Structure 1
Amino acid sequence: MTFRLSIRASYLALAASALAATGTTAMAQTPDQAAETVEEESGGFAGQDIVVTAQRRPERLQDIPLTVTAFNAETIKSLNLNDAISVSKYVPSMISQHNAGLATANSYFLRGLGNTQSAATFDPPVGTYVDDIYVARQNANNYAFFDTERVEVLRGPQGTLFGRNTTGGAVAIIMRKPKDEVGAKFEMSAGSFDRVTAKTSIDLPISSTILTKWSAFYVKDDGYLKNITTGETLNGERSYGFRGDLRLLPTDDLTIDLSGEYTSNTGTYFGVRTLPTPSSRFGTTTTPVFYEAATNMRQTSCKGDPVTTLLTTGDGLCLNSENYAASANITYSPDAGTLQAIVGYRKQDQGYINNYSSGTVNKFAGFILADKIDNSQHSGELKWNSELFDGKLKYVAGIFYLKEINDLSTATFSGGTTAYNLTADVRFHQEVETAAAYAQGDYEIVPDLIATLGARYTWEVKNLDFFRSDRFPGFGYDSAAVIATGVPLRQTQSRVTPRIALSYKFDPNVLVFASATNGFKSGGWNGTNSNPALVLPFRPEVTWSYETGFKSELFDRKLRLNGNVYLAITKDLQVTSGIIIPPLTTVSQLARNAGKLQTYGFEWEAAFSPNRYFNIFVNGSINRGKYLSTVQTPGVPANLQIQTSTVPVRVPDFQIATGATFKVPVDALGGDLGITGAFRHNSPYFVAALNTAAAPTENFVDLTATYDNEDGKWGASFGVTNLTKQETITANFISLFPGDPRRFTGRFWFNF
């Protein structure tokens, strides 16, 4: 990966929420071609433009009526953003964490919209995209960053241009494309908890029209959670991956990008043990003990059938996930516009065993899940970008198709004394087909006044089938048992989601805008419940978001200041929580419609660079949320229902992320020395849907010292994250799950 911008540019990109870049954006350019133009034409820190593809074409961020935060390759490296979950640290109105017990699954919350359910019968409200291809399943969305060109986070509903309707937003990951010259980059780091990472990327062009790139990564982490009963450490990982990219350039107007990828992830994400005394700090009935667990269960391998592994070895606490992906992006760019065909395939095989009772020493008595999951998807999209009326109208239109096949086998064990006691065994097969057509146009009514109008029509069908257990006779249920309770196992949905916006430029450096955007995410089922009567369907979640804001570059473009106010009304909000529903005696996951949610707030992003040696950024948000009305789920006690007095989860009243970097050339050392400091603050927020647990006030401090050789061939850094040892919890499902502790990391990289 030889893509390289100065660290000064990377921090402007972070603070101003985009890819630091300059250059023209002709319609005949593909997004990555625009990025290459940007790299070649980038100048000093002040006055640089920012190019994003949030509207599915390359545009200056300051010219579009959207709120976007983006990270380029240098920012990802400098801030130690190793995977998709890391980006949330610096995005206004965003809180993210791993799903309870599942380290490969991220729960993204944007403006109060998110979810903690990774089962295939529940879709994420914040979508993940890799090279414009939608990643349907949240249990595989913690994408590792290796040879990543940039990441864009779009806030608010994505109901028009992106591959799957979402209500909260989108995380778009763009991988770097092969270059036309031989080059390579290698990076290695080592740090706390015996964490070692290695990344490499090699460009090997075969000719001027056939370019290739080969990338790989490896991560080993022994974990930071001490099991005081067995002496093992938990919450570590072993991960690796390979990727190959092929770029064909048969003509000046035709580009064909092909890629293939394999990643393997193993590891654990386990909760802490607790003391039997209430905690006012965390709003819980027990007090967490950081960073300790107490179960007598040991780690093992989850390859094969997790239930067989658990019952034959007696051990668990494992995750094994294998992911395969392939894509083709064919871009044809005649004078009239740009036509893109995007085809993708993804497959995941996953197994995990998790004992959620971290403080229960007797491993048989705890609440244990042993799951086997197989997901596959294939998708296709055809997209056309062009202009009319001498450039007064810019438009994009396209069609999209996605098919998913999902299989889940989940067994629950609880309440044993000397052996594992099976309480449930659920198996289902789900197929999803969705198709859409969309169009959006930006028309210049008068000079500098642009009206945006777009809409998407989506059709979707879901079919769900259940099967009785073949390994535990008498357990489980089939589709007939569910249908007998009055629950349909087929859902068909169709919807039009519009977008309207108006923007005006007072001068080349000041833009104001207002917009109204509609988005939805599909309905589904409470698919993992052990009781067929509780496989309840839920309706689609629908959001209208209203925004007004400004984008500006002031003082000879040394200060970039963007801000916006938003109001989002979400009908039939979908929530999940783990509860015990009488007369059952074990915990059930309950996914349901909670009611109507209102969130609103002010978000800002600022970057100031008085000279080429120093810059500072300040990003933040002020947010409020409340339930306007609620929906009561039949058969659930009132104390386990969402009420209008319930506080929405993961909506901190105040967030701020600020930092500064100072970097100067030192002739005696033959390179640049730099130091970067960052501070992040979140006011307290609930992490449990029923307000039974909360994260306290969070204050994180990160520091990094860097050296870059003057010829750009090598460099090194040493840094610390969470310097002040901030303790926090990310989720509450039987156990309390901890945030990351303090880490020290040394890094070395070189290019050739």
Structure 2
Amino acid sequence: MEMNQNRHRIFLLAGSGLAMVVSSAPAWAQDAANVQAAVEQSSGGLDEIVVTARKREENAQDTPIAITAMSGDMIEGRQISNVAQVASYAPNVAIQPVANISGSSASLTAFIRGVGQTDFNITVDPGVGIYVDGVYVARSVGGLLEMADIQSVQILRGPQGTLFGKNTIGGAIVVNSREPSNEFELKLEAATGRFNRADIKGIINIPISDTLAMRAVASYETRDGYQLRLVDGDRQGDKDSFSGRVAFKWEPSDVFTATLAGDVNIRREGTASNTLIENRDSPDLLQFVTTPNGTFAFPSANFGYNKLGGGAGQCGAPGELAPLDNPNCVSSRWVTGDIDTTWAGSNNQSDFDLWGTNLTLEYNLGNLTLKSISAYREQNSIIESDFDATPHVVLQNTNKLDLWQASQELQLNGSVLDDRLKFTLGAYYLKEKGFGDELLQFGFADFFSGGGIDNDSYAAFAQATFEVTDRLSITPGIRYTDETKRFDPSVQVITVDRTAGLPGPYPDGVFIQFARCITGQAAPVLGPDGFPDPTCVPSATNPGGNHVVPAVEVAAKAKEWTPAVSANYEFSDDVMGYVSYSKGFKNGGFTQRIFPGELVTPSFTPEFVETYEVGLKTELFDRRLRLNMAVFQSDYTDIQIVVSEGIAPKARNGGVGRIRGFEIEGQAAPTDWLRIDYGLGYLDAGYRSVLASAFPVNIDSKFAMVPEWTGTVAANATVLDNENGKLVLRGDWYHQSSTFKDAINNPQLFQPAYSVFGANASYTLPGDHFTITGGVTNLTDKRYIQGGFVDLDVAGLATANFSRPREWFLRVGYEF
């Protein structure tokens, strides 16, 4: 009761702050849609940030959307090397460069204002959309984008269901590359640092003719892993990545522009660091788990290895725990107690190949502009994961992903009535196909997960801004989406059943018999003791009798309208207030982690968010202070969460939630040589009701990856700028309150509140050609949990992925 009262006081204070700002002068902002920010240098004070949040160029301070925008210079100054690091500079945003149990070094988990997704599987969509040069990146694996030659990055908070639409229920991260220009440019960089870091980057821009220009960038980054494998001396958590982009821009006339670009990312790395926190053996094969849906029996992986697999005959009899002093057994002896060491012994591999191309055509017809964005992207990856983090083959996974996507977007922007009515019309199509082939080697059986996907998404959208008066504008918008997701799980079969040959009525093994008596049947063919009937025969959709789900394609369809409306009023030239409503949705899908059998392929339904927001944006003291504020409430229904049921996490609809919060964000330039960026975010996220299928999540469970408080401060000080050169000192601080890293709120994945500091200094020699930068990341060596996996009953373990330690770096750059 007291906590709720305190929360109400917080919202009253935030609302009072908004009223006070209106009466004096501040304001603030966030969310947006397509953002291609440019920064226009001002003669004094803060730079003006121009965005295309509503598909047209506008000052960010005049746009009634909540958005955090960073220019390319800001990204370079803050030493941001990938998209996950931008979260440290935006309130109510949590991005981790790892996905729970993925093992991939190229994956991303993003949450904005409490909405996101922890699952990386190809049958589950991310909750935050990532767009690169206007092109949607469909999968979490491959979402950890490199920041080699970036014009701007924008983080758009809240549902972007009108102008973006595709899986932007939590928000969108928009990355724009630098475009070719008509001036020659050459940049070279080399960096070294801790863990044998060696980075090389080159950028060249060539004006080929008066109408054609080319820009190319190539970047290679490598460093040793920070987690030592005690078995073989190898390391996990390393980096070995090459990325490149080539773009051509053709402007044959004042009314037509064509930009053709191609990019590639090749990574040959070890798996993400993974620390064994706890290992729990079992004296029995079957673990009985009671849920609101009944009591279920699941196999113990540790028992399977110790009694049926590699430890058979050495690790005790059934009914006994394995001896701790026997290295041939699985037990708690493999917990090192050091987050930077592991006994993992499987292949150490996270290979990733991505390439893409996109063509942007733009016709300027006076009051009308027609834009076309055509794109194709393809990725292939092989990920070897040792989930058990022991030298033995207990829980190991080889995941092969082959995916491609093709998209086409058309935009028509225009204005009428002497520019009092500005509008955007558009159409969008995305085709995505792929296959995931996932071999799982568990202590009790080997089997395949994964399958093929075939997805289509069609959308049409419209939005218009009408200036009712010189100060009041109203912007309604709506999007219609027709989406079909298909999944073929025919690959999912049990290949090895380690109970085969044991005394009893199941010569092929108890798990294969479970699959035979459940998968595709009208009802489970089980005896009164809950075990499979020895005489049952496979169903028609279970050829071979070893499929864990019916070998038939399934589909999830959604047809949704996602409206948005906002009204903004300019109290003065420096103060603008707005109110808005927006709706977003994310389609349902299918769970692919299944064992030993299901009647049908498990599915989950779409989720929805409706957000109501009030905000202010202000600039004060002759653009020396920018203060933006917002208060919002999000009603979150059919929440898609990940819970454990049996041997692996499964996507489920969790129930209904509500998220309330506020954000304060801005910049200050008290002098020409000092710039300060700051942000503060608060979230009150909780369940209003919980479905039985979400067990063990309950009404008191905390949302995964959602801190109550986030705060950030970054400062740049130009302490020298004369004929002797230019010296800039930079420092940043990021703080977030405690979080759980999974929906179940396992205590092993509870991360207490923490702060991270960084600092660097750059010296540009006279002539402005050479710049030397040195600095330290994670200055206080704070090690915090980024993700993990806990299942003590079946998998018998708890593991966590910890952040990188403190690292120093030294960079030398040359610019022609």
Deviations 1:415-461 (A, max 9, x none): 2xxxxx64321241110011000000111111210111000000011
Selected match of 1:340 from 371, 378, 382 = 371
Query: Structure 1 residues 496 and 291, CA, compared in 2 at 3 Å: closer, same or farther?
Result: same
Per mean C-alpha deviation after superposition, the further-off stretch among 701-710 and 439-448 is: 701-710
Query: Structure 1 residues 378 and 291, CA, compared in 2 at 3 Å: closer, same or farther?
Result: same
* Unaligned residue ranges in structure 1 (runs of 5+): 1-14, 20-29, 278-285, 298-314, 416-420, 582-586
Selected match of 1:453 from 476, 489, 496 = 476
Aligned to 2:555: 490
Cα drift, residue 276 of structure 1? 7.1
Cα contact 2:243–2:264 (8 A) shared by 1: yes
1:553 aligns with 2:619: yes
Counterpart of 2:541 in 1: which secondary structure?
helix
Q: Matched residues in 1 for 2:42 and 2:64: separation?
A: 26
Could you tell me which amino acid in structure 2 is paired with residue 575 of structure 1?
I
Selected match of 1:704 from 760, 763, 767 = 760
Q: Matched residues in 2 for 1:200 and 1:49: separation?
A: 29
Per mean C-alpha deviation after superposition, the further-off stretch among 186-195 and 504-513 is: 186-195
Query: Structure 1 residues 342 and 620, CA, compared in 2 at 3 Å: closer, same or farther?
Result: same
Cα drift, residue 163 of structure 1? 5.2
Cα drift, residue 274 of structure 1? 2.8
Q: Matched residues in 2 for 1:709 and 1:595: separation?
A: 59
Write out aligned runs for 1:181-220 (5 A): 181-220=183-222
Aligned to 1:409: 437
1:680 aligns with 2:734: yes
Cα contact 2:488–2:554 (8 A) shared by 1: yes
Selected match of 2:690 from 630, 650, 663 = 630
Aligned to 1:664: 719
Write out aligned runs for 1:232-381 (5 A): 232-267=234-269, 268-274=271-277, 289-297=337-345, 315-358=346-389, 360=390, 362-365=391-394, 367-381=395-409
Write out aligned runs for 1:75-114 (5 A): 75-97=74-96, 98-100=98-100, 101-114=103-116
Cα drift, residue 338 of structure 1? 1.2
TM-score normalised according to structure 2 size: 0.79
Cα drift, residue 591 of structure 1? 0.6
Could you tell me which amino acid in structure 1 is paired with residue 64 of structure 2?
P
Query: Structure 1 residues 617 and 426, CA, compared in 2 at 3 Å: closer, same or farther?
Result: closer
Selected match of 1:174 from 156, 173, 176 = 176
Could you tell me which amino acid in structure 1 is paired with residue 256 of structure 2?
L
Could you tell me which amino acid in structure 2 is paired with residue 234 of structure 1?
Q
Could you tell me which amino acid in structure 1 is paired with residue 460 of structure 2?
A
Per mean C-alpha deviation after superposition, the further-off stretch among 209-218 and 725-734 is: 725-734
Cα contact 2:446–2:494 (8 A) shared by 1: no
Cα drift, residue 47 of structure 1? 4.8
Cα drift, residue 726 of structure 1? 0.9
Could you tell me which amino acid in structure 2 is paired with residue 181 of structure 1?
E
Cα drift, residue 626 of structure 1? 0.5
Aligned to 1:518: 583
Counterpart of 1:119 in 2: which secondary structure?
coil
Counterpart of 2:106 in 1: which secondary structure?
strand
Aligned to 1:466: 489
Cα drift, residue 186 of structure 1? 1.3
Could you tell me which amino acid in structure 2 is paired with residue 391 of structure 1?
D
* Unaligned residue ranges in structure 2 (runs of 5+): 1-26, 281-333, 498-511, 521-539, 790-797
Counterpart of 1:44 in 2: which secondary structure?
coil
Selected match of 1:118 from 108, 117, 120 = 120
Higher relative contact order at CA 8 Å, sep ≥6: structure 1 or structure 2? 2
Cα contact 2:449–2:493 (8 A) shared by 1: no
Cα drift, residue 156 of structure 1? 0.4
Deviations 1:336-392 (A, max 9, x none): 22110000000001111110222x2x3223x11111111100000110111111111
Q: Matched residues in 1 for 2:593 and 2:369: separation?
A: 44
Could you tell me which amino acid in structure 2 is paired with residue 178 of structure 1?
P
Q: Matched residues in 2 for 1:18 and 1:492: separation?
A: 32
Cα RMSD, aligned residues only: 2.5
Q: Matched residues in 2 for 1:596 and 1:353: separation?
A: 36
Aligned to 1:435: 458
Cα contact 1:295–1:357 (8 A) shared by 2: no
Q: Matched residues in 2 for 1:249 and 1:192: separation?
A: 45
Cα contact 2:28–2:615 (8 A) shared by 1: no
Cα drift, residue 216 of structure 1? 0.6
Q: Please identify runs of 4+ aligned residues in structure 1 that moved more than 6 A.
A: 15-19, 473-479, 482-488
Per mean C-alpha deviation after superposition, the further-off stretch among 126-135 and 686-695 is: 686-695
Cα contact 1:483–1:489 (8 A) shared by 2: no
Write out aligned runs for 1:50-89 (5 A): 50-89=49-88
Deviations 1:675-703 (A, max 9, x none): 11111111111112111021111111111
Write out aligned runs for 1:724-739 (5 A): 724-733=780-789, 734-739=798-803
Counterpart of 2:123 in 1: which secondary structure?
coil
Max Rg structure: 2
TM-score normalised according to structure 1 size: 0.86
Q: Matched residues in 2 for 1:217 and 1:112: separation?
A: 34
Q: Matched residues in 2 for 1:340 and 1:153: separation?
A: 23
Cα drift, residue 234 of structure 1? 1.4
Query: Structure 1 residues 45 and 655, CA, compared in 2 at 3 Å: closer, same or farther?
Result: farther
- Count residues with an aligned counterpart: 678
Identity %: 28
Aligned to 1:751: 815
Could you tell me which amino acid in structure 1 is paired with residue 633 of structure 2?
L
Q: Matched residues in 2 for 1:747 and 1:111: separation?
A: 35
Query: Structure 1 residues 538 and 485, CA, compared in 2 at 3 Å: closer, same or farther?
Result: same
Query: Structure 1 residues 672 and 468, CA, compared in 2 at 3 Å: closer, same or farther?
Result: closer
Cα drift, residue 559 of structure 1? 0.5
Q: Matched residues in 1 for 2:438 and 2:549: separation?
A: 22
Per mean C-alpha deviation after superposition, the further-off stretch among 401-410 and 222-231 is: 222-231
Cα drift, residue 473 of structure 1? 8.1
Could you tell me which amino acid in structure 2 is paired with residue 556 of structure 1?
D
Query: Structure 1 residues 171 and 287, CA, compared in 2 at 3 Å: closer, same or farther?
Result: farther
Aligned to 2:707: 652
Per mean C-alpha deviation after superposition, the further-off stretch among 657-666 and 259-268 is: 657-666
Cα drift, residue 242 of structure 1? 2.0
Q: Matched residues in 2 for 1:208 and 1:645: separation?
A: 64
Counterpart of 1:691 in 2: which secondary structure?
coil
Query: Structure 1 residues 484 and 689, CA, compared in 2 at 3 Å: closer, same or farther?
Result: closer
1:148 aligns with 2:147: no
